[in-house]
């Protein structure tokens, strides 16, 4: 899988702790570096076309047609993708977009590009919510953006929604859900508003300018989310993700099942599918300065901390990550697969730690206790169930 991080935004959302900059000074140099990085790091993924390509950010919908085409040329020239359309087994190619960027001109450009899936960061259809989050769009733009891209032929379409925020009461949240399912999209990703340190929202909560979020509100609105979307034909295939049949995110599913992926651009993360994880420096100016000097993979490795950090995962690390992501998925975790990947001892440990959660109803077993998955009740305490099973 291939991930490309576009680290630029028009303005800073109050809750966001991803790497981005509202200063576009290094835009051209960063894109130059990404093209070079695509060439130099090709050997980190298996030969042949990747199953998915994902443009995240930041705000990838800020890219011009010429910039997007340049990146796709580098993707094709370096053998990440052979150009086959998704209908005949080609890559799922997703681009994250903000509603205010999806003008007629931009939508036409995207429709003419290889992008075949859009993920639109709506977050809410409430003006009060959008102002509180410091989003760049308004509710009217959110609705019209979805209508515009559907009219342009984008069938594979996801939207993001945020629940549990200080301005999102239950009535507002129900209206958001009603509007979302009325739009005819086939994938919805929905997350609780998280107060992160070093964000504008984190500062406001820490100083008492606004109250903290409420676990009780999270629980109520999460239950509303699950009930509404499943009643409207969505499959709840991961704790935060819902899809109509045949429209799961291939890329995100790859993350959750431990597939190798390469992250390109400032702040992007990579995983070799086994024991090595890397993360690029989250600093646009340094990224732009160092990459022109890199001409080979040996140069990249030698640059080390100037460009990336790295860790080697232990067997225990890999087991813990597998438990965390596996329990979040509707398929749950097969004991046989735990034993195959990590050995009988960790397999027995996992089963032992599931026993109390079977008793209290957080977990249910399938196939004579050969598969464990979260119950409806367990979805709200997923992190705690996983932590109990960690080695």
CATH number of the structural domain spanning residue 324? 1.10.10.920
For the segment 81-91, what is each residue's pLDDT rounded down to a tens digit?
987 665 545 78
Question: Into how many domains does the chain fold?
Answer: 2
**Which one of 231, 256, 281 terminates a domain?**
256
Average pLDDT, integer, range 126-136: 92
For the segment 89-111, what is each residue's pLDDT rounded down to a tens digit?
578 999 999 999 999 999 999 99
pLDDT of residue 22: 80
The answer to whether 138 touches 130, Cβ cutoff 8 Å, is yes
Indicate the range of 59-68, 121-130, 362-371 predicted with least confidence: 362-371
Judgement on whether residues 15 and 128 belong to the same structural domain of the protein:
yes
The answer to whether 12 touches 65, Cβ cutoff 8 Å, is no
Residue 299 lies in a domain: no
For the segment 213-223, what is each residue's pLDDT rounded down to a tens digit?
999 999 999 99
**Which one of 213, 237, 256 terminates a domain?**
256
pTM: predicted TM-score of the whole model, two decimal places? 0.94
Judgement on whether residues 252 and 355 belong to the same structural domain of the protein:
no
Judgement on whether residues 241 and 323 belong to the same structural domain of the protein:
no
Judgement on whether residues 229 and 354 belong to the same structural domain of the protein:
no
Return the bridge partners of 278, or none: 270, 310
CA atoms within 13 A on the CB side of 83: 6
**Which one of 212, 236, 256 terminates a domain?**
256
Q: What is the dihedral of CA 307, 309, 313, 316, to 10 degrees?
A: -150
Which CATH number is 84's domain given?
3.80.30.20
- Beta strands 371-374 and 363-366 are antiparallel
Judgement on whether residues 163 and 239 belong to the same structural domain of the protein:
yes
Residue 280 lies in a domain: no
pLDDT of residue 10: 86
Distance of alpha carbon 201 from alpha carbon 248, whole angstroms = 31
For residue 132, report the phi and psi dihedrals to the nearest 5 degrees.
-60, -40
Domain that holds residue 251: 2-256
Judgement on whether residues 127 and 243 belong to the same structural domain of the protein:
yes
Whether the per-residue pLDDT at 205 is higher than 90: the answer is no
Residue 244 lies in a domain: yes
Distance of alpha carbon 55 from alpha carbon 68, whole angstroms = 10
Average pLDDT, integer, range 39-60: 94
Angle (nearest 5°) at CA 140 between 134 and 144: 120
């Amino acid at each position: 899988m291939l991930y490309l991080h576009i680290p630029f935004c028009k303005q800073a959302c109050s809750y966001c702790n991803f790497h981005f900059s509202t200063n576009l000074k290094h835009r051209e140099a960063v894109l130059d570096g990404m093209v070079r990085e695509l060439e130099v790091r090709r050997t980190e993924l298996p030969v042949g076309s990747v199953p998915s390509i994902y443009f995240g950010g930041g705000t990838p919908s800020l890219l011009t047609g010429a910039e997007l085409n340049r990146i796709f040329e580098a993707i094709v020239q370096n053998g990440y993708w052979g150009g086959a359309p998704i209908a005949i087994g080609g890559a799922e190619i997703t681009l994250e977009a903000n509603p205010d960027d999806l003008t007629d001109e931009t939508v036409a450009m995207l429709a003419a590009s290889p992008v075949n899936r859009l993920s639109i960061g709506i977050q809410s259809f409430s003006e009060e919510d959008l102002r509180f989050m410091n989003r760049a769009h308004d509710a009217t733009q959110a609705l019209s953006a979805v209508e515009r891209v559907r009219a342009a032929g984008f069938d594979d379409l996801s939207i993001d929604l945020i629940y549990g925020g200080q301005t999102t009461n239950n009535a507002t949240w129900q209206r958001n859900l009603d509007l979302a399912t009325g739009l005819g999209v086939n994938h919805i990703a929905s997350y609780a508003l998280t107060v992160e340190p070093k964000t504008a929202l984190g500062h406001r909560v820490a100083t008492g300018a606004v109250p903290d979020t409420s676990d009780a509100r999270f629980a109520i609105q999460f239950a509303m989310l699950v009930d509404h979307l499943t009643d409207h034909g969505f499959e709840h295939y991961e704790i935060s993700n819902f899809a109509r049949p045949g429209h799961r995110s291939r890329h995100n599913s790859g993350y959750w099942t431990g597939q190798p992926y390469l992250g390109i651009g400032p702040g992007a993360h990579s995983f070799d599918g086994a024991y090595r994880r890397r993360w690029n420096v989250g600093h646009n100016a340094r990224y732009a300065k160092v990459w022109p000097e890199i001409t080979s993979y040996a140069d990249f490795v030698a640059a080390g901390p100037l460009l990336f950090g790295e860790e080697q995962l232990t067997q225990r690390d890999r087991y813990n990550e597998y438990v965390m992501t596996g329990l979040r998925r509707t398929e749950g975790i097969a004991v046989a697969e735990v034993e195959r990947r990590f050995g009988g001892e960790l397999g027995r440990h996992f089963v032992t730690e599931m026993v109390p959660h079977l008793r209290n109803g957080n977990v249910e077993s399938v196939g004579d206790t050969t598969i464990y998955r979260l119950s409806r009740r367990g979805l709200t305490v997923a992190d705690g169930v996983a932590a109990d099973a960690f080695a």
